[in-house]
Amino acid sequence: MGRILIIGAIVLVIWAGMEIQANGINGAFNGLFAPAGQAEAEAITSTPQRAGDKVRDAFQKGEERNNRLLDENSQ
């Protein structure tokens, strides 16, 4: 019985760590541990979300630049 409880506690700690890693402390557990009002005052994004946003912005800017250059050279 003791082994089952220890394994359960380890799984719980790993899950909590992954939740915080993925969503940040303000977004983890639906903002349960966020300072009062802070979660509503600002957009909550984790590091992977911010990185994805930057990559999408870079792709969009690259496509816009390519389209602009194609339009300039085709005329």
Rounded Cα gap, residues 30 and 63, in angstroms: 36
Residues 68 and 40 in one domain: no
pLDDT at 6 (0 to 100) = 94
Rounded Cα gap, residues 39 and 43, in angstroms: 7
Residues 39 and 63 in one domain: no
Q: Are 22 and 46 in contact (CB under 8 A)?
A: yes
Residues 40 and 57 in one domain: no
Tens-of-pLDDT digits for all 75 residues of the chain? 889 999 999 999 999 888 888 877 766 777 676 666 555 545 566 677 778 889 999 999 999 999 999 888 887
Owning domain of residue 7: 1-44
Token code pair at residue 13: 């700690």
Counted domains in the chain: 2
pLDDT at 72 (0 to 100) = 87
Residues 35 and 61 in one domain: no
Residues 58 and 38 in one domain: no
pLDDT at 42 (0 to 100) = 56
Residues 40 and 60 in one domain: no
Residues 27 and 14 in one domain: yes
Residues 62 and 27 in one domain: no
